[in-house]
Amino acid sequence: MDIRTLAAADLPACSDLAESRSWPREPPKWTLLHEVGRVFGVDAPDGDGLAASAVLVSFGPVASISMVLVAPRFERRGLGRAITAHAVAAAGARVVWLHASKFGRPLYESMGFVADGGCQGHVGTFADDGGPGASPGSLSDVYPVDRVAQGADRRPLLERLGTPFVVDGGFAFGTDIGHVTVIGPVVAETEEQAKALIRGVARSVRGEVRVDPDFRFPGLTSWVRERGLVPGAPAPRLVLGGRTLPGDASLRFAPFTRAVG
C-alpha cells in the first residue's frame, strides 16, 4: 500500500472522497488543512480518485489527526488503520489526539487512543438574544492567549482565520469553510465571555453558523441550542496513550473544528 503526501492539486479528490462518505465537500477547509498540516492519501487501485485520506496537523508538542476517510468500495481492507498509523508515525513524540465518530471510535481505541472529553457540533441560523457582543480586535492580542489555552504556538493557523473578535483574555474567529461559518476556536475565561464572542461573530456573518461546545460546558451547549442551533452527533476526543494535552483546558470553550482544536 502506497501512502503519499498529497499536494494542492489532489484536494478536489479529497472533496470527492468526503462526498462519497456523505460528508460536506468543504474545499476551503481542505485547503487550510493542507496549508498548515500534511494531507496523506492512498490512490484508488481502480484509478478513480482516492481510496483513503488522513490529515496531520502539528504545533509544537501536540498533533491532531483528522479527515480519516475510506471510499465505500474499499472498506474493510485495513486502509483506515494503515493511514491512521502512518499519521501517528509522522507525529513522532508529540501528544496525538483526534475526534472520533461512533463508527471510527472502536478502531482508534484498538490502536491505543483513550477517551478524553469531546465536543458536539451545533448548526443553524443564530437567533440573537440581544446580549453583549465582542468586537473585532488584533491578531497580536490573540497569539499569547491561544498559546496559554493550547500549550503551543499556532500562528500559522490563526493567521489564516481572518479577523478575530476579542474580549479581555479571550477571542473567537468566524471562518467560512464552504457551506457554513464556523465560530471557533472560542477561548475565554468565563461562559459569559464565550457567549459574547459567539454573538459578536454571529452578528458579523450571513447564513448558518456552527459552534462545537466542549462537553465540559453544558451551560454553553444549552444556550447555543436556545439560540436556534441544532445539535449533531457528539464527537468524543481521544488521545493516544491517554497522555495529557498541553495548555489550559478551562479556557477552551469550543475548537476551531474537530480537525484542529
Q: With cut-offs at 50, 70 and 90, classify the pLDDT of residue 261.
A: confident
pLDDT digits (tens, 9 = 90+) for 100-135: 999 899 999 999 999 999 999 999 999 999 999 999
pTM as predicted: 0.95
Helices and strands, number each (H, E), in the chain = 8, 15
For the chain, list the domains and their CATH numbers.
3-93 (3.40.630.30), 121-232+248-254 (3.40.630.90)
Angle at alpha carbon of residue 238, lines to 151 and 190, rounded to 5°: 50
> What pLDDT does residue 179 have?
87
Chain-wide mean pLDDT for the chain?
Answer: 96
Structure confidence by residue, pLDDT tens digits, 147-172: 999 999 999 999 999 999 999 999 99
Asked if residues 163 and 136 have their Cβ atoms less than 8 Å apart, the reply is yes
Residue 9 CB partners (closer than 8 Å, separation 6+): none
**In this structure, which amino acid lies at residue 1?**
M
Q: At what angle do helices 191-203 and 218-226 cross, to 10 degrees?
A: 30
pLDDT(1) > 90: no
Q: What is the mean pLDDT of residues 201-220?
A: 97
